[in-house]
Amino acid sequence: MNPLSACLLVAAFLFCVGLAGALSRSSAILVLAGIELMLGAANLNFVAFWRYGSVAATSRVHALTGIMFVLFSIGVAAAEAAVGLALILAIYRHAKTSDVTEITELKG
């Protein structure tokens, strides 16, 4: 096993932990946290391929693509967290709960 596949395995495990959390926890905040964790795992993949992928070293133009993708991904993830948590707050104010199993009505 080389470093690259070690990174990929760690990322895969993190992704699955996030997935398990997003699927099985009932708190909306933790569902969001699980999704953030999955995004983080994807970022780890990008960094791992940037670091160990043999393509990166060959061409000057694409040397920083992995880094750039992670930077933008972090920005989008932060945006997602902000909007997601604002939504959860709005829902909580409306339904007095943030339990995803109890928010079952479409009608306000």
- Return the number of the residue (36 or 106) whose C-beta is nearest another protein: 36
Q: Is 42 in the site for another protein (CB under 8 A)?
A: no
| DSSP summary character for residue 99 | B
Q: Is 96 in the site for another protein (CB under 8 A)?
A: yes
Q: Is 97 in the site for another protein (CB under 8 A)?
A: yes
Q: Is 103 in the site for another protein (CB under 8 A)?
A: no
State how far the Cα of 1 lies from the Cα of 48, in Å rounded to an integer. 14
First to last CA, the chain: 54
- Return the number of the residue (34 or 106) whose C-beta is nearest another protein: 34
Contacts to another protein from residues 59-78, by CB under 8 A:
61, 63-64, 67-68, 70-72, 74-78
State how far the Cα of 40 lies from the Cα of 24, in Å rounded to an integer. 19
**Cα dihedral: 26, 88, 98, 15 (round 10):** 10
Contacts to another protein from residues 3-22, by CB under 8 A:
3-10, 12-21
